[in-house]
Structure 1
Amino acid sequence: MGELEKPQKRKQDKRFKIANREALIGVGLAIFNFIWWFAFAYGLGDRSPENYTYVFGLPAWFFFSCVLGFVVMVLLVIFVVKVWFVEVPFDEEEGEQS
């Protein structure tokens, strides 16, 4: 039997590392959004409608989970994109061109 060839260790493109990091940040934001929504919607909204408190004419659970949650997420996404996301070129790098 022949010797098994070891797979060559290829240099991974740095764009993949950046894309993976940014994808994980996006998943983290989505999880945060779900937790925020779930906590306010089911935390404040599991009472009888006669006992609801209202903010701007909306039930508090709806205002905090849907209206304020949307505003918080928009601001978080803007912040994350401006601070942690980086511009990545889509064309091949100079050293990799054939």
Structure 2
Amino acid sequence: MDPRFKISNREALMGIGLAVLNFIWWYAFAYGLGGKPVREYHYIWGLPAWFFYSCVAGFFVFSILVYIMVKFFFKDVPFEDEPERQNLKEEQR
């Protein structure tokens, strides 16, 4: 099996895992804090706390996590097949 597929499968699973964590974060704050009567809401910057934590804070947290994942865990993978790259190198000589 081509090692590029192993790398891309691992990176795809990491991306799916991050998307699932994002959904859990959003759902927990939106329905956890937002399940109360409106009179009991707490507000942050004029927004209900459930909205602030699920949408505003979640956006920044997961944007940083995506940056960290891409910067430190993803690898550059060439799109060309190995024999084609060898032929190209030989032609350039």
Which structure shows the higher helix fraction?
A: 2
Task: Answer whether TM exceeds 0.5 for this pair.
Answer: yes
- Which residue is equivalent to 2:38? 49
| Aligned positions, number | 87
TM-score (norm 2): 0.89
- Quick one: percent identity of the two aligned structures? 59
Which deviations, in whole Å up to 9, do the C-alpha atoms of 1:8-38 show, x marking residues without a partner?
Answer: xxxx100000000000000100000000000
> Is there any run of 5+ residues in structure 2 with no aligned partner, and where?
88-93
Q: Please tell me whether Structure 1 or Structure 2 has the larger radius of gyration of its CA atoms.
A: 1
- Which residue is equivalent to 1:24? 13
- Which residue is equivalent to 2:63? 74
- Which residue is equivalent to 1:83? 72
Q: 2:11 and 2:74 mapped to 1: Cα distance?
A: 7
TM-score (norm 1): 0.84
Q: Write out the 4+ residue segments of structure 1 that deviate beyond 2 Å after TM superposition.
A: 94-98
What amino acid sits opposite 1:45 in the alignment?
Answer: G
* 1:36 partnered with 2:33: no
Q: 1:77 and 1:51 mapped to 2: Cα distance?
A: 34
**SS of equivalent residue, structure 2 residue 80:** coil
Which deviations, in whole Å up to 9, do the C-alpha atoms of 1:54-84 show, x marking residues without a partner?
Answer: 0000000000000000100100000000000
Q: 1:95 and 1:89 mapped to 2: Cα distance?
A: 11
